Structure 1
Amino acid sequence: MIILINQYLNFKIFSCITFRIILSILTSFFINLYFIPYIIAYFKNLKKYQIIRMDGPKTHSCKKNTPTMGGLIILISILIGVFLYCDLCNFYIWCVIGVLIGCGIIGFLDDYKKINFKNTQGLKILSKFFWLSIVAIIMISMIYVNSNNSINIELVIPFYTKIFFKINYLYMFLCYFVIVGTSNAVNLTDGLDGLAIMPIIFLSVGLGIISLCSSNVFFAHYMNIPYLKKANELSILCAAITGSGLGFLWFNAYPAKIFMGDVGSLSLGGALGMISILLHQELLLLILGGIFVLEAISVILQVIYFKIRKKRIFKMAPIHHHYEIKGISESLIIVRFWILSFICLLIGIASLKVN
């Protein structure tokens, strides 16, 4: 929208990427800050609360009267920031919006079923994976078609160098795994007050920095990343995610007044996965999103080990529940995971330039 206004008013500041990034952060932040209290009051009036796992930590019983589905306002604020400040002719933006909305709808249906039927199951696991797969396949196909069915892909190896792939079925499978895997990993992490949203903020900041550098020939060469002329618009989208995350954290910090629900975690995870694909930073995502990787791996190891040995590695998975059961306070676990997430951000950015 601001790009169209600038065509008529010719204000140079409106075309400045830094100016639009700041506006995107502030807009999405204040939208959350203003509307979330109304969302909280609305769900409390309807008596629609988070459904607590019966087999979960006993300390979570106090969360049973906390509203959920706060991810709705996160999505709305991000989309408003994008439509106001991004160049809507940019193909990258629509790829991310497609994943954001597609995964958001799946998450909404999952949350709605949990709340309506008052159980923790929601959508069946296979059903959820099926629809997430459909969204991922559609968006990957769009990238493939837009690339004229044949392009060279630069896949950056952190701490090492670049290798080049022709886009093919192997790479498409990697893209599928990134979108679906990241979406579910964020969903698994969202188990404590504010635990998932801060790593999301750090990850979006990291990807935003990379998108800015990718659009500049000099910085792209210096940081050993692919030059992507139109990638700078993704930094505005990342800014919207950051601002929205900060606004939501205002109410989601311990003790949480609202949870984002699957509508937030699935959509944000999928969107960040898609951004990493567009920037060719699929492997760097494993470092920047280290906390999400840790949580997902803890669940995978727990399931595999139990099936083989009939024993558990952790007292409960994901791993944040393991520490809860060991007696570590929830607030301490959250802050320590935030610190680890920030360290992952620093390591990820540092890995881009190796002399």
Structure 2
Amino acid sequence: MTMQLLYTFITALVISLILGKIGIPMLRSLHAQQSIREEGPKAHLSKAGTPTMGGIFILLALIVSVLIFSPWNTSTWVLIFLTIGHGLLGFSDDFIKSVKKRNLGLTAKQKLLGQIIMSAIFCYIATEVMTVSTALWIPIVNTTVDLGFFYYVLVFIIIVGTTNAVNLTDGLDGLAAGTSAAAAIAYTVIGMILYPENGAGAGVSFFSIALCGAVLGFLYYNSNPAKVFMGDTGSLALGGAFAGMAILTKTELLLILIGGVFVMEALSVIIQVVSFKTRGVRVFKMSPIHHHFELSGWSEQKVVVRFWLASCLCAVLGLLVFAIR
């Protein structure tokens, strides 16, 4: 199984590298260009015109390598469904904004409706077909609480929260891709521990290692200065993938630690909005928090590398907590 995982990783990495080489000129020809917020850091204005929707490369590399090497079971297919579903949702938004030149893209209600439908389908398959327990494992204290029907609500919150958190993290060159690679390695290890053989849940290991290879291949083109951005196509798909793996491995709460950087980014936005609306005071110079560090004098590369290290630390701590369960 270890060699198969290695082959899966290499295949996803190579496909992603090839697709980047071929696909970036195609995105340029379609004028699929990133719009830069005028209220953002002024240094980012030079990024205007950079091709976006590069998440397509990640998705294709991920799916092809998974279909070649992963066991064909329900866990594999349901992860593909949730990831591609969110990728298509993000692609629709990117396409409308960057190609059709309509700034609003999909409305918040349209995105939410799509996520509600995908969450319901995913949760039904997980609990009714795969018989995934509705019990919630609480790390450290190592106890479980059966949520019953409310587990469906939790699944929706996890999926929506994770996809939005990864989306918010995708604000600097290579930031979301690098942090996602660290989280993917953590879920590869968790999958290997839970399913050491090619059993019913082994698809998680193959899926996560393929995801790692795909984002690292994309990172070659996305690192500073980025030649392409993943867009919502990539960030929403990555969020869906991590949410799905957390639910199938019953590590829903552990995802908060493994994806600590994603959580920090999302919390910074929530804190900023709540503080400004209730007290008229901004806690950060700008949110998400990576912009705060930029405006505090850190270079973009310094912020990204520090966040990568933080993500690696979160992944290691998450694995340690999982190991002592």
Q: Do both share a fold (TM > 0.5)?
A: yes
User: What SS does the corresponding residue of 2:171 show, helix, strand or coil?
Assistant: coil
1:238-275, Cα deviation, whole Å (9 max, x unpaired): 11101101100111111111100100000111111111
How far did 1:157 drift? 2.2
- Taking the aligned partners of 2:321 and 2:302, their CA distance within structure 1 comes to 29
Which moved further from structure 2: 96-105 or 39-48?
A: 39-48
Instruction: Name structure 1 gaps, 5 residues minimum.
Output: 1-16, 218-227
- Percent identity, please: 38
- Taking the aligned partners of 1:46 and 1:146, their CA distance within structure 2 comes to 42
- Taking the aligned partners of 1:94 and 1:264, their CA distance within structure 2 comes to 19
* Residue in structure 2 matching 1:155, options 136, 142, 150: 136
Q: What's the RMSD between the two structures over aligned residues?
A: 1.8
Q: Which amino acid aligns with 1:246?
A: L
How far did 1:158 drift? 2.2
Query: Structure 2 matches for 1:2-41, cutoff 5 A?
Result: 17-41=1-25
Q: Which amino acid aligns with 2:127?
A: Y
- Taking the aligned partners of 1:338 and 1:174, their CA distance within structure 2 comes to 28
User: What SS does the corresponding residue of 2:136 show, helix, strand or coil?
Assistant: strand
Q: Which amino acid aligns with 2:272?
A: Q
Q: Which residue of 1 aligns with 2:148?
A: 168
TM-score scaled to structure 2, two decimals? 0.95
- Taking the aligned partners of 1:135 and 1:153, their CA distance within structure 2 comes to 18
User: What SS does the corresponding residue of 1:156 show, helix, strand or coil?
Assistant: strand
Q: 1:53–1:120: 8 Å Cα contact kept in structure 2?
A: no
Query: Structure 2 matches for 1:250-329, cutoff 5 A?
Result: 250-329=220-299
* Residue in structure 2 matching 1:180, options 143, 155, 160: 160
How far did 1:329 drift? 0.7
Query: Structure 2 matches for 1:94-113, cutoff 5 A?
Result: 94-113=77-96
- Taking the aligned partners of 1:277 and 1:322, their CA distance within structure 2 comes to 32
Q: Which residue of 1 aligns with 2:187?
A: 207
User: What SS does the corresponding residue of 2:322 show, helix, strand or coil?
Assistant: coil
- Taking the aligned partners of 1:297 and 1:84, their CA distance within structure 2 comes to 38
How far did 1:62 drift? 0.7
How far did 1:147 drift? 4.9
Q: Which residue of 1 aligns with 2:35?
A: 51
Q: 2:74–2:130: 8 Å Cα contact kept in structure 1?
A: no
1:282-320, Cα deviation, whole Å (9 max, x unpaired): 011000000000000011111111111122111111111
Q: Which residue of 2 aligns with 1:193?
A: 173
How far did 1:131 drift? 1.4
Q: 1:288–1:345: 8 Å Cα contact kept in structure 2?
A: yes
Q: 2:5–2:209: 8 Å Cα contact kept in structure 1?
A: yes
Please tell me whether Structure 1 or Structure 2 has the larger radius of gyration of its CA atoms.
1
User: What SS does the corresponding residue of 2:39 show, helix, strand or coil?
Assistant: coil
How far did 1:66 drift? 0.9
Instruction: Name structure 2 gaps, 5 residues minimum.
Output: none
Distance of aligned partners of 1:322 and 1:121 in 2 relative to their CA distance in 1, 3 Å threshold: farther
User: What SS does the corresponding residue of 1:245 show, helix, strand or coil?
Assistant: helix
Q: Which residue of 2 aligns with 1:146?
A: 129
Q: Which residue of 2 aligns with 1:65?
A: 49
Distance of aligned partners of 1:325 and 1:120 in 2 relative to their CA distance in 1, 3 Å threshold: farther
Query: How many pairs are equivalent?
Result: 325
TM-score scaled to structure 1, two decimals? 0.87
Q: Which amino acid aligns with 1:325?
A: L
Q: Which residue of 1 aligns with 2:106?
A: 123
- Taking the aligned partners of 1:103 and 1:152, their CA distance within structure 2 comes to 24
Q: 1:179–1:274: 8 Å Cα contact kept in structure 2?
A: yes
Q: 2:71–2:202: 8 Å Cα contact kept in structure 1?
A: no
